[in-house]
Amino acid sequence: EGMADLPAGQYELALTWDDAARVYVDGKRVIDEWNPSRYSFDESPHKKLRLTLGGPHHFRVEHLELGGFATLALKIRRVE
C-alpha cells in the first residue's frame, strides 16, 4: 500500500505479476487478475490501463504466489 500526490493528468498504470494480483486505486479495484489457472506455470503476464488522476491517491496491491518463479512490478507514469 502507498499514497501519492499526483499532478492532474492522464496516467498509465502497468502491472506485471505471477501468479495472481489485484490493484486498487482509492479503494476501487482497477485490475483483477485473481485466477492463476489463466496463465501457464512461471508465466509473468503484463497489463496496462489509463487513468485520469490528480491530487492524493491511495494505491494497494494484493499478490498471490503459488511457488516457483515469482514477480510483481507496479509502475505508474504520466502520459501526454
Instruction: Report pLDDT digits (tens) over 15-36.
Output: 999 889 999 999 999 999 998 7
Q: Which band of pLDDT confidence, cut at 50, 70 and 90, is reported for residue 41?
A: low
Buried b (16+ CB within 10 A) or exposed e, 1-40: eeeeeeeeeebebebebbbbbbbbbeeeeebebeebeeee
The answer to whether 63 and 57 are in contact (CB under 8 A) is: no
Nearest to 16 by CA among 68, 58, 69, 53: 69
Helix, coil or strand: residue 19: coil
Q: What is the pLDDT of residue 42?
A: 60
* Average pLDDT, integer, range 1-5: 96
Is the model's pLDDT at 5 over the cut of 80? yes
* Average pLDDT, integer, range 42-64: 92
Is the model's pLDDT at 43 over the cut of 70? no
Q: What is the pLDDT of residue 66?
A: 84
Is the model's pLDDT at 40 over the cut of 80? no
